[in-house]
Amino acid sequence: MKDVLIYDTTLRDGCQAEDISFTLEDKLRIAEKLDELGMDYIEGGFPGSNPRDEEFFKAVRKLKLRHVRIASFGMTRKPSSKPSQDLSLKTLLDADTPVVTLVGKTWDLHVRDDLRISQKANLEIIADSIAFMKERVDEVIFDAEHFFDGFRCNPIFAVECLKAAEEGGADWIVLCDTNGGSLPGDIRVAIGDVKNLISTPLGIHCHNDGELAVANTMAAVEMGVRQVQGTINGFGERCGNLNLCSLIANLQLKMRKKCVSVEQLKEIQALNKYRPHSSHFFDSPEVRPIVSDQQLKKLREVSHFLYELANISPNKHQPYVGDSAFAHKGGMHVAGILKNRETYEHIDPELVGNRQRVLVSDLAGRSNIVYKAKEYDIELKSDDHAVHEILRRIKDLESQGYEFEAAEASFELLIQEALGRKRKNFRLVGFRVIDEKRKENEPPISEATIMVEVDGVMEHAAAMGNGPVNALDTALRKALTKFYPSLMEMELLDYKVRVLSSGEGTAASVRVLIESGDKKDRWGTVGVSHNVIEASWQAVVDSIDYKLYKDSRQATGIRR
């Protein structure tokens, strides 16, 4: 049996986040990914709220899920109806899920000002709604909405609500920090009291409005809570929900080390102090990990999969799974991890499917250069002349506004240049870019003409484009394709411009970052100038040079 069960509510709570909307097909793909990750429950949505959620519960039955249990979510009955007559409860039964989660009021403020009923009536609603569902469904979970706020204002009534759920036969009672404003100390105090009054296994559902959802959930687990509810990447309303990516990693890699001996566990049981939600439960050497080691290695993959379907750029600074989670920039840090990664990393990145990265900037030391060169299969020593030259060049370029953290292709070319290995694939004779607007209500027309020389042969080309940079990029590749056919499979994927010195207005320097790709790889290049076309040209040329450099390396059987 597991020490903590993971209840994912990305498909309901996560969908309530601003800018997030999943199609039915998205939700089904997400369900399969969450099953692969080892989730115990997936809350599919509120079947009475929209047709898409209703369709999900029909379609999910056809998936070959190996582990997870699907839960539908709804509210306790309305004050004006009996359970057997309540439309919301009927809709949950129609969803035909093995698990039903009912949310009910536990804060007297809501009972008084929202429902506008007596406290006694609210207790009856909780008890008979759960009892009704428990007779018809395998497992019923009670989400005690606003419990911690209710406990703070009226602890007696809040606990009476939990007792009503227990009397109704709830399999789980989940304590919700719905407004997300509680502190870890609040969580510990409340759970400490509840454990002595309720025997039903406890869960926790935290929102992140105080940026404490992970801390609050960890505190709850330390107090003996056995079920945690959250979302992948912390997606959710307002400031989001508990981030399961961080929570799973914390539970798996941090708390699993807290154990008691078999003899101690037997002593606890013999003294009749063992309860299903006792904190001693987590220290049992017999329990399984939260997820398997192989599933844990999928954590970053699942995180980015959700970002991709949500059409949101991944949070690069997200703990454990973000691109920057194990990225090192300062020279002292890099020197440390080269000797022992534990000097500046709290876990091995590969445990969660991530990787160690070393960044190159004006803060870099020689260790950074040596490390990055090794990534490109180039062996350098810190006292090599090339290392000093590369470091000098980087510091000079970054003082002008260049930035190589997102333009590693440009940096690799810089290393090749310092080593005298960079090939000049073509010589620019000249280019001209024209932006013409012929009518006020029509978009402008962009055209570029270019002349280049390759091995003494002159080539001229012209192209139209969606903007001047696209026109220039297209014309250049059109001119070079005759000499380098592989450029036909290359495309410009992303283009970003940043103004570097805002005080100069339209005369300010700009930095252009370009992401390019082919059938196998993606790479970033950079250019800086007072002229946005010139900055773009630099980045485009680096992009083409890198493509040709990469192809030549692959042709000789070298990895990079």
Q: How far apart are CA 457 and CA 459, in angstroms?
A: 7
Among 87-96, 185-194, 243-252, 326-335, where is mean pLDDT lowest?
Answer: 326-335
pLDDT tens figures, 376-399: 778 888 778 888 888 888 888 878
Beta strands in 172-252 (DSSP E): 172-177, 202-206, 227-230
Q: Which amino acid is at 130?
A: I
pLDDT tens figures, 60-90: 999 999 889 999 999 999 999 999 999 999 9
Mean pLDDT over 292-317 rounds to 89
The tokens for 424 are: 């000049």
Q: How far apart are CA 168 and CA 164, in angstroms?
A: 6
| Residue 58 confidence (pLDDT) above 50 | yes
Query: How high is the pLDDT of residue 352?
Result: 94
- Helix, strand, or coil here: 335? helix
Mean pLDDT of the chain: 87
| Residue 108 confidence (pLDDT) above 70 | yes
Cβ atoms within 10 Å, residue 232: 29
pLDDT higher at 66 or 361: 66
pLDDT tens figures, 270-287: 444 434 444 334 444 444
CA distances from 488 to 441, 482, 491, 494, 515 (A): 34, 10, 8, 17, 16
Neighbour-count burial for 32-70, b at 16+ CB within 10 Å, e otherwise: bbbbbbbbbbbbbbbbbeeebbbebbeebeeeebeebbb
Query: 366 near 331, Cβ under 8 Å?
Result: yes
User: Of 429, 432, 430, 460, nearest to 447 (Cα)?
Assistant: 432
| Residue 122 confidence (pLDDT) above 50 | yes
pLDDT tens figures, 31-45: 999 999 999 999 999
Query: How high is the pLDDT of residue 259?
Result: 32
Query: How high is the pLDDT of residue 369?
Result: 78
Among 317-331, 372-386, 413-427, 487-501, where is mean pLDDT lowest?
Answer: 372-386
| Residue 297 confidence (pLDDT) above 80 | yes
- H helix or E strand, kind and range, residue 8: strand 5-8
Q: What is the percent of the chain with per-residue pLDDT over 90, rounded to a whole number?
A: 61
Q: If phi over 0 gives left and psi between -120 and 50 gives alpha, with beta otherwise, what is residue 455?
A: left
Mean pLDDT over 233-262 rounds to 82
Query: 482 near 465, Cβ under 8 Å?
Result: no
Neighbour-count burial for 480-490, b at 16+ CB within 10 Å, e otherwise: beeebeebeeb
pLDDT higher at 401 or 194: 194
The tokens for 79 are: 């004050």
141 contact partners, CB below 8 Å, separation of at least 6: 7, 71, 99, 100, 101, 102, 170, 171, 172, 173, 174, 203, 227
Beta strands in 76-157 (DSSP E): 99-105, 139-145
Give strand pairing partners of 174. Answer: 143, 203
Query: How high is the pLDDT of residue 55?
Result: 94
Query: 326 near 292, Cβ under 8 Å?
Result: no
Which pLDDT band holds residue 506 (cuts at 50, 70, 90)? low
| Stated pTM of the model | 0.70
Mean pLDDT over 332-342 rounds to 79
Among 145-159, 385-399, 437-451, where is mean pLDDT lowest?
Answer: 385-399
Query: How high is the pLDDT of residue 557?
Result: 55
Query: How high is the pLDDT of residue 278?
Result: 40
Question: What distance separates the 2 farthest-apart alpha carbons in the chain?
Answer: 92
Q: Which amino acid is at 81?
A: S
User: Of 370, 372, 365, nearest to 411 (Cα)?
Assistant: 372
- Kindly list the structural domains of the chain, giving each domain's residue range(s) and its CATH number in brackets, ordered by start: 5-291 (3.20.20.70), 427-555 (3.30.160.270)
Query: How high is the pLDDT of residue 188?
Result: 97
Mean pLDDT over 179-203 rounds to 97
Name the residue with tokens 């070319």.
413
